[in-house]
C-alpha cells in the first residue's frame, strides 16, 4: 500500500464501484453467462467445495464475489491476486487464504486442453481418469483441438459438462 498514492486508491475504488453497478444493471443472455446466469442464484456460480465459505466471506467486502471470478487465472496468477488483495486490506487467516487459493485454482483456472496431461485434465476438468485419457488419446491421434465442438467428439466426454466449462477451455 505504501507505494500507492491517494489518487490511485480513489481510482481503484471507483473502478470497483463501477464494476458493481455494471454487474447489477446488466443481465446478459443466460446462454452466454455460465458463471452468473441470474442474480437470484448468483451463489450457484460457486461450486460447493472447500474454500467457498472463506471466499464469500473474505472476498465480497470491496466488490462482489462474482467480480472475482470474471477472469480465469492460473494458480500462480491467483496467488498474486490474493497477495494484492491482502495489501489492499483483505483480512483472513493464512489458512483461509490458502483455501481461497486452492478453490480458485480448482474451479477458475484455464483448462489447457492441448497441453495438459491426463492427470491435469482429470483435476481441472473434473472428469474420470478414463475420460481424461480419452481426451489425450484423441489429441494424439487427430492433432490439437481447435473448437469446443471438436472436443465434444471425444468418446465418453459429457458435452453438457463441456458447455458449462467452456469459458475455461484454452486452445
Q: Under a CB-based contact definition with an 8 Å cutoff, are residues 66 and 45 in contact?
A: yes
Q: Under a CB-based contact definition with an 8 Å cutoff, are residues 70 and 35 in contact?
A: yes
Q: Under a CB-based contact definition with an 8 Å cutoff, are residues 36 and 66 in contact?
A: yes
Q: Identify the helix (H) or strand (E) that includes residue 40.
A: none
CB of 102 to ligand HEC, least distance (A): 12
CA angle 59, 64, 65 (to 5 degrees): 50
What per-residue string of b and e applies to 97-107 under the rule 16 or more CB within 10 Å gives b?
bebbbbbbbbb
Which C-beta is closer to ligand HEC: that of 100 or that of 169? 100
> CA-to-CA distance for 13 and 82, rounded, in angstroms?
17
Which C-beta is closer to ligand HEC: that of 10 or that of 30? 10
Which C-beta is closer to ligand HEC: that of 53 or that of 114? 53
Applying CB under 6 A, the residues found at the interface with ligand HEC are 12-13, 15-16, 58-59, 61-63, 68, 71, 81-82, 85, 88-90, 100
CB of 60 to ligand HEC, least distance (A): 8
Locate 57 and state its grid cell: 466471506
- The pairing of strands 111-112 and 169-170 is parallel
CB of 12 to ligand HEC, least distance (A): 4
CB of 82 to ligand HEC, least distance (A): 5
CB of 19 to ligand HEC, least distance (A): 8
Which C-beta is closer to ligand HEC: that of 2 or that of 160? 2
Which C-beta is closer to ligand HEC: that of 35 or that of 135? 35
Amino acid at each position: 500500500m505504501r507505494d500507492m498514492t491517494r489518487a490511485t486508491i480513489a481510482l481503484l475504488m471507483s473502478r470497483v464501484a463501477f464494476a458493481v453497478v455494471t454487474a447489477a444493471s446488466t443481465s446478459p443472455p443466460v446462454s452466454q453467462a455460465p458463471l452468473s446466469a441470474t442474480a437470484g442464484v448468483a451463489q450457484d456460480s460457486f461450486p460447493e467445495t472447500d474454500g467457498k465459505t472463506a471466499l464469500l466471506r473474505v472476498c465480497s467486502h470491496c466488490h462482489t464475489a462474482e467480480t472475482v471470478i470474471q477472469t480465469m487465472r492460473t494458480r500462480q496468477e491467483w496467488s498474486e491476486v490474493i497477495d494484492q488483495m491482502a495489501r489492499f486490506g483483505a483480512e483472513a487467516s493464512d489458512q483461509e487464504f490458502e483455501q481461497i487459493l486452492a478453490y480458485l485454482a480448482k474451479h477458475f483456472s484455464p483448462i489447457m486442453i492441448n497441453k495438459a496431461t491426463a492427470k491435469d485434465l482429470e483435476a481441472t476438468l473434473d472428469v474420470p481418469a478414463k475420460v481424461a485419457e480419452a481426451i489425450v488419446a484423441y489429441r494424439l491421434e487427430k492433432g490439437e483441438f481447435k473448437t469446443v465442438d471438436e472436443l465434444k467428439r471425444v468418446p465418453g466426454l459429457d458435452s453438457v459438462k463441456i458447455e458449462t466449462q467452456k469459458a475455461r477451455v484454452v486452445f
